[in-house]
Amino acid sequence: MTKSINQPWAITEEFKTRYGKTWAELDFQFQDKISQELFASDPMNVLIGELHVAGNRIPMRYKDLIAYAKSIEILSTNLYAERVGKTETFEVSIKGRESMLNKCELGRLSTTLTDTVNTCAKAYELGLYL
| 32-56 confidence digits (pLDDT tens) | 777 777 777 888 888 899 999 999 9
Contact (Cβ atoms closer than 8 angstroms) between residue 42 and residue 93: no
Task: Report the pLDDT value the prediction gives residue 69, as an integer from 0 to 100.
Answer: 95
Q: Considering just the CA atoms, what is the radius of gyration of the chain in Å? A: 15
Residue 74 has pLDDT above 80, yes or no: yes
Distance CA(106)–CA(85), nearest Å, equals: 13
Q: Give the pLDDT confidence score for residue 75 in this predicted structure.
A: 92
The length of the chain, given as a count of residues: 130
Cβ within 8 Å of residue 18, ≥6 positions away: none
| Rounded-to-integer distance, Cα 129 and Cα 48, Å | 10
- What mean pLDDT value characterizes the chain? 88
Say which residue, 22 or 126, is predicted with more confidence.
22
More confident residue, 33 or 84: 84
Residues β-bridged to residue 20? none
Gap between the Cα atoms of 41 and 28, Å rounded: 24
pLDDT in tens, 89-125: 999 999 999 999 999 999 999 999 999 999 988 877 7
Q: Are 34 and 46 in contact (CB under 8 A)?
A: yes
Residue from 95, 6, 26 nearest 59 by CA: 95
- Parse the chain into domains and list their residue ranges: 8-126
